[in-house]
Amino acid sequence: MKIYVNNFFNILNDIIPWEDLNFDKKESIIVKLLETKSGSVKLIEYFDRYSNYIKKTSLISFLKGVLKHKF
């Protein structure tokens, strides 16, 4: 169990400064975490859009039981 917790915190340490990272660093994080070489550009764009969506959306809209979010 300790290994899973350590891995989780390592992932968090990598992605917490996500907004301040350049594209190459984001790509290296995605490739390292998912062990993939294809599709990383789409994932980076997805996480960037999701991050912006979370910033713009209030917490109340998540608590009201909204089923579909558009981001």
Helices (H) and strands (E) in the chain, counts: 4, 0
Outline where DSSP puts E strands in the chain: none
pLDDT in tens, 20-66: 999 999 998 888 888 887 778 899 999 899 888 888 887 766 666 65
Where do the domains of the chain lie? Answer: 2-63
Q: Is the pTM of this model over 0.85?
A: no
- Which residue type is seen at 66? V
Q: What is residue 2's predicted lDDT score, i.e. its pLDDT? A: 87
Q: Please count the other Cβ atoms lying within 10 Å of the Cβ belonging to residue 26.
A: 21
Confidence of residue 1 (pLDDT cuts 50, 70, 90): confident
CB 68 within 8 A of CB 39: no
Closest CA to 71 of 41, 42, 50: 50
Q: What is residue 68's predicted lDDT score, i.e. its pLDDT? A: 64
